Amino acid sequence: MKVLVTGGCGYIGSHTCVMLLEAGYDVIIVDNLCNSKRDVVDKIKEITGKDVIFYKGDVCDYALINKIFSHHDIVAVLHFAGLKAVGESVLKPLLYYRNNIDSTLNLLEVMTKYNCKNIVFSSSATVYGAPKTLPIKESAPLSTTNPYGSTKLYIEGILRDVYEADKNWNIAILRYFNPIGAHKSGLIGENPNGIPNNLMPYIIKVATKELEVLNIFGDDYDTPDGTGVRDYIHIIDLAKGHIKALDKVLSGSGIVCYNLGTGHGYSVLELVKTFEKVNNVKVNYRIAPRREGDIAACYADPTYAFQELGWKAELGIEDMCRDAYNYVMKCKRNTSD
């Protein structure tokens, strides 16, 4: 069974491609490589020992997506392609709306044309805005504070409208919490260029002395140690959630929506301390002012995904810290060889 993975060279897409191949799916990737590298395809092949079809191109390119569907009998799409930097989205809202929404519209139009009506979509816990109650259930009120989050919320709305108009669609909306970690092999993972926006890549760059010090954005939140609390989830657990969601979609789910998180919140300081302990390295940090737009705490109620999919996260915060560091160290060794 062939599945199309948009953004399959990216962080979450690449790990999910490995799981898809291991589960016996045939994988076709389309990615314009705006935030990833071509060699990820080779790494996916190396890990799984299986072949992957790769198209370099933009999901906003109707002719390309049409060509892919005309050449392959695709049963479902996992739609990861999108821009994801919150700060950049505030500076360049049109880029985010154009890329994230146009790509989705194109995809849905071509899928309709070829009668492929099964899709798994990458949404985000960002659609919960500043949550009023914790842990967060799927039924919590939705709102956003930046254009990136708005693209996710609008796309969720588009998917609901598409389903209302045609009940033959099967759609899984997955709201991810904070994915970190990497594949055990150290062949794929997350290693952004430049100064990272997110906590784990920043911690790693401080640990490896590429950056001098981690700024902890605020220690006066209403949390046990005053620093921000998030639901960090191992990328492998997240990828496994996609296989379960895809199975559900292919069994005729209608439209469904699941939180993919662990249900546990860890503070910035807890993550830093755990990282130092398991990797036996020092992470210099200082307390800095709060980052604009940040919330105190955010963690999932993952019960619904367990009830409906039989999925729950299994790996712990120590695995996440170890595997994330292992991947970056391996990248470094390879580039210095």
User: Residues in the site for ligand UFG, rule: CB under 6 A?
Assistant: 84, 86, 124-126, 176-178, 197-199, 202, 214-217, 228, 230, 268, 291, 294
Any catalytic annotation for residue 148?
Answer: yes
CB burial readout 188-206, b (16+ within 10 A) else e? bbbbeeeebebbbbbbbbb
> How far apart are the C-alpha atoms of 50 and 24, rounded to whole Å?
10
> How far apart are the C-alpha atoms of 296 and 189, rounded to whole Å?
27
**CB closer to ligand UFG, 76 vs 200:** 200
- Classify residue 312 by burial, with Cβ atoms within 10 Å: 0-12, 13-18, 19+: middle
Contacting residue, 5, 65, 82, 263, with ligand NAD by CB under 6 A: 82
Give strand pairing partners of 217. 288
Residues 162-181 that bind ligand NAD (CB under 6 A): 176, 178-179
Whether the bond into 135 is cis, omega within 30 of 0: yes
**CB closer to ligand NAD, 80 vs 275:** 80
Would you mind telling me the total number of residues written for the chain in this entry?
337
Cβ 258 to ligand UFG, closest distance in Å? 14
Q: Which of 148, 232, 266, 327 is catalytic?
A: 148
59 binds, among ligand UFG, ligand NAD, none (CB under 5 to 8 A by kind): ligand NAD
Contacting residue, 47, 76, 103, 296, with ligand NAD by CB under 6 A: 103
Contacts of 240 (CB under 8 A, 6+ apart): 19, 311
Contacts of 39 (CB under 8 A, 6+ apart): none
Task: Determine if 60 is a binding residue for ligand NAD (CB under 6 A).
Answer: yes
**CB closer to ligand NAD, 94 vs 287:** 94
**CB closer to ligand NAD, 192 vs 336:** 192
Task: Determine if 264 is a binding residue for ligand NAD (CB under 6 A).
Answer: no
323 binds, among ligand UFG, ligand NAD, none (CB under 5 to 8 A by kind): none
**CB closer to ligand NAD, 180 vs 216:** 180
Cβ 59 to ligand NAD, closest distance in Å? 4
Query: Residue 189 in contact with residue 11, Cβ under 8 Å?
Result: yes
Cβ 237 to ligand NAD, closest distance in Å? 14
> How far apart are the C-alpha atoms of 17 and 7, rounded to whole Å?
10
3-state class (DSSP) for residue 315: coil
- For ligand NAD (CB under 6 A), the number of binding residues is 29
Residue nearest to ligand NAD (CB): 10
Residues 236-255 that bind ligand NAD (CB under 6 A): none
**CB closer to ligand UFG, 35 vs 215:** 215
Name the region of 321 (left: φ>0; alpha: ψ -120 to 50; beta: rest): alpha
Cβ 85 to ligand NAD, closest distance in Å? 9
Q: Within its chain, how far is the Cα of 93 from the centroid?
A: 20
Task: Determine if 124 is a binding residue for ligand NAD (CB under 6 A).
Answer: yes
CB burial readout 6-32, b (16+ within 10 A) else e? bbbbbbbbbbbbbbbbeeebbbbbbbb
User: Which residues are at the interface with ligand NAD (CB under 6 A)?
Assistant: 6-7, 9-13, 30-36, 58-60, 80-84, 99, 103, 122, 124, 176, 178-179
**Active site residue ranges:** 148
